[in-house]
Amino acid sequence: MASVFIPSQQRTIDNPTEISEFLKPFGIWFEQWQVAGRLQPTATDHDILEEYAPEIEQIKKKGGFVTADVINVHADTPNLDAMLQKFNKEHTHSEDEVRFTVSGKGVFHLDPEGGPVFGVTVESGDMINVPCGMKHWFNLCNDQHIRCIRFFEDTAGWTPHYVEHGVHSDFSPMCFGGSFLPQSKRIEPVIQP
Ligand SMILES: [Fe+2]
């Protein structure tokens, strides 16, 4: 289940309704879609797109997206470090970054204008968007796995535009059961910036 952590306030939010209410003023959608009993462990990308077709159509209409695909990242993914290092530095995109997590776990850090910086841990069943132009970065959790449905207006829109003097190195992603360690016990991110 998702959780939000606001480091400057040492505040954690893990109630889905409260998460949604916290994220809404920033223009971030948060939804939880049913996962139990919907997919076999052997489900292919096609199976996932077929099973979630109703939700996919709803999000396409809501956000003007034209395509959806499935990305499956795991510890054995070739060139994993290079792939992750594209997204673990503060950046923006020219369209919304919308992700539904089928399995695995990761942390989006969001850096909205006027602050505060906060982390959103996403797990199976969580759908969020990062609005077009909002500064953010992403880290996988320790098992280095995430499988997501992605939505695109134009696949070129997902190119990262890096932020000069990004603040990503000031924050460590903590993924232990959706909670975060106190600052004094911080560990380094899975993938070094
Ligand atoms: Fe991104």
pLDDT tens readout for residues 116-133:
999 999 999 999 999 999
Tell whether 181 is covered by a domain: no
Radius of gyration of the chain (CA): 16
Ligand 1 centroid distance, CA of 1 (Å) = 21
Tell whether 173 is covered by a domain: no
Ligand 1 centroid distance, CA of 75 (Å) = 20
* Residue 126 near residue 2, CB atoms below 8 Å: yes
Tell whether 93 is covered by a domain: yes
Ligand 1 centroid distance, CA of 48 (Å) = 22
CATH of the domain at 14: 2.60.120.10
Tell whether 158 is covered by a domain: yes
Q: Which residues surround ligand 1, an ion (CB under 5 A)?
A: 97
Q: How many domains does the chain have?
A: 1
Instruction: Give the largest CA-CA distance in the chain.
Output: 45
pLDDT tens string for the chain (193 positions)?
A: 899 999 999 999 999 999 999 999 999 999 999 999 999 989 999 999 999 999 999 999 999 999 999 999 999 999 998 988 899 999 999 999 999 999 999 999 999 999 899 999 999 999 999 999 999 999 998 889 999 999 998 877 678 999 988 899 888 766 644 434 333 334 344 443 3
User: What domain range includes position 25?
Assistant: 3-165
Evaluated on CA atoms 112, 138, 60, 53, the torsion sign reads negative
Q: Is the pTM of this model over 0.85?
A: yes
- Check residue 169 and give its pLDDT: 84
Tokens standing for residue 191:
């993938």
